[in-house]
Structure 1
Amino acid sequence: MDRPRAAGTPLPAMSYVILGIALFGGLIYLLRPVLTPFVLAFILAYVLNPLVDALERRRVPRIASVILLVFLAGVAVAAAALFLVPIVETEIRTALERGPVYIETVQTRVVPWIEETFSVRLPHTSQEWGAEISRRAGALSTDLAGTLGSAAAAMFSGILSLVLGLVGFLVVPVVAVYLLKDFNRIGRGFLRFLPERVRPAAIVRVQEINSVLSGFVRGQLLVCLILSVLYSAGFLLVGLDLAIVVGLLAGFANIVPYMGLATSLVMGGALAFLQYQDSGHVLGALAVAAVVQVLEGTVISPRIVGQRIGLHPVAVIFAILAGGQLFGFLGILLAVPAAAVVGVLLRAGASRFRETSWFRGAA
Structure 2
Amino acid sequence: MTRFFKGWLHRYFSDEEAVILSVLLIIGFVVVLTMGSMLAPVFAAMVLAFLLQGVVNQLKGRGVSHNLSVTVVFLIFLTTFLLILLVLVPLIGDQMSRLFNELPRMIGDAQHALQVLPQKYPGFISETQVTVWIETLNGQITNVGQWFVSFSLSSIPGFVGVLIYLVLVPILVFFFLKDSALLASWTGSLLPAQRPMMMQVYAEMSDQIANYVRGKAIEILIVGAATYLGFVVLDLRYAALLALLVGLSVVVPYIGAAVVTIPVALIAFFQWGWGNEFFILMVVYGVIQALDGNVLVPLLFSEAVNLHPIAIIVAVLVFGGLWGFWGVFFAIPLATLLKALMTAWPTQSDSIQPGDGESSAG
Which amino acid letter does the alignment assign opposite residue 108 of structure 1?
H
Q: CA deviation at 1:62?
A: 2.8
Q: Distance in 1 between matches of 2:129 and 2:245?
A: 34
Q: Which segment is superposed worse, 110-119 or 244-253?
A: 110-119
Which amino acid letter does the alignment assign opposite residue 229 of structure 2?
A
Specify the alignment match of 2:24 in structure 1: 20
- The structure 2 residue matched to 1:50, chosen from 54, 79, 97, is 54
Q: Alpha carbons of 1:95 and 1:28: their partners in 2 closer, same or farther (altered >3 Å)? A: closer
Does residue 131 of structure 2 align to residue 121 of structure 1? yes
Specify the alignment match of 1:355 in structure 2: 350
Q: Alpha carbons of 1:23 and 1:123: their partners in 2 closer, same or farther (altered >3 Å)? A: closer
Specify the alignment match of 1:139 in structure 2: none
Per-residue deviation, residues 309-331 of structure 1 (Å, max 9, x unmatched) = 33221111111111222122232
Does residue 227 of structure 2 align to residue 231 of structure 1? yes
Q: Distance in 1 between matches of 2:100 and 2:198?
A: 56
Q: Alpha carbons of 1:265 and 1:328: their partners in 2 closer, same or farther (altered >3 Å)? A: same
Q: Distance in 2 between matches of 1:348 and 1:99?
A: 54
Does residue 102 of structure 2 align to residue 107 of structure 1? no
Which amino acid letter does the alignment assign opposite residue 355 of structure 1?
D
Q: CA deviation at 1:227?
A: 0.7
Specify the alignment match of 1:342 in structure 2: 338
Q: Distance in 2 between matches of 1:344 and 1:284?
A: 45
Q: CA deviation at 1:29?
A: 1.1
- The structure 2 residue matched to 1:29, chosen from 33, 41, 47, is 33
Per-residue deviation, residues 46-93 of structure 1 (Å, max 9, x unmatched) = 221232234345554433332331221121233345554575577567
Specify the alignment match of 2:72 in structure 1: 68
- The structure 1 residue matched to 2:326, chosen from 305, 325, 330, is 330
Which amino acid letter does the alignment assign opposite residue 165 of structure 1?
V
Q: Distance in 2 between matches of 1:29 and 1:104?
A: 43
Q: Alpha carbons of 1:211 and 1:121: their partners in 2 closer, same or farther (altered >3 Å)? A: same
Q: Could you tell me whether the CA contact under 8 Å between 1:41 and 1:175 is conserved in 2?
A: yes
Specify the alignment match of 1:172 in structure 2: 169
Q: How does 1:156-235 map to 2 (within 5 A)?
A: 157-198=154-195, 200-235=196-231
Q: Could you tell me whether the CA contact under 8 Å between 2:45 and 2:170 is conserved in 1?
A: yes
Q: Alpha carbons of 1:183 and 1:289: their partners in 2 closer, same or farther (altered >3 Å)? A: same
Q: CA deviation at 1:197?
A: 2.6
Q: Distance in 1 between matches of 2:90 and 2:13?
A: 63
Q: Could you tell me whether the CA contact under 8 Å between 1:316 and 1:336 is conserved in 2?
A: yes
Per-residue deviation, residues 263-318 of structure 1 (Å, max 9, x unmatched) = 44111111111111215444333323322222111110101122443322111111
Task: Return 5+ residue gaps in structure 1 as ranges.
Answer: 1-6, 134-149
Q: Could you tell me whether the CA contact under 8 Å between 1:213 and 1:337 is conserved in 2?
A: yes
Q: Alpha carbons of 1:113 and 1:163: their partners in 2 closer, same or farther (altered >3 Å)? A: farther
Q: Could you tell me whether the CA contact under 8 Å between 1:212 and 1:340 is conserved in 2?
A: no
Q: Which segment is superposed worse, 84-93 or 310-319?
A: 84-93
Q: Alpha carbons of 1:275 and 1:118: their partners in 2 closer, same or farther (altered >3 Å)? A: farther
Q: Distance in 2 between matches of 1:162 and 1:241?
A: 27
Q: Could you tell me whether the CA contact under 8 Å between 1:229 and 1:247 is conserved in 2?
A: yes
Per-residue deviation, residues 25-45 of structure 1 (Å, max 9, x unmatched) = 112211112121111101111
Q: Distance in 2 between matches of 1:8 and 1:102?
A: 60
- The structure 2 residue matched to 1:256, chosen from 231, 238, 252, is 252
Which amino acid letter does the alignment assign opposite residue 241 of structure 2?
V
Q: CA deviation at 1:24?
A: 1.5
% same residue: 23
Q: Could you tell me whether the CA contact under 8 Å between 2:115 and 2:130 is conserved in 1?
A: no
Q: CA deviation at 1:182?
A: 1.2
Q: Distance in 2 between matches of 1:118 and 1:238?
A: 38
Specify the alignment match of 2:81 in structure 1: 77
Q: Distance in 2 between matches of 1:163 and 1:8?
A: 47
Does residue 267 of structure 2 align to residue 271 of structure 1? yes
- What is the TM-score normalised by the length of structure 1? 0.77
Which amino acid letter does the alignment assign opposite residue 157 of structure 2?
L
Task: Return 5+ residue gaps in structure 2 as ranges.
Answer: 1-10, 119-124, 143-148
Q: Report the number of matched residues.
A: 330
Q: Alpha carbons of 1:8 and 1:108: their partners in 2 closer, same or farther (altered >3 Å)? A: closer
Of structures 1 and 2, the one scoring higher in RCO (CA 8 A, sep 6+) is 2
What SS is found at the alignment partner of 2:345?
helix
Per-residue deviation, residues 86-126 of structure 1 (Å, max 9, x unmatched) = 7557756775786565243212114665985982626979x
Q: CA deviation at 1:193?
A: 2.1
Q: Which segment is superposed worse, 265-274 or 201-210?
A: 201-210
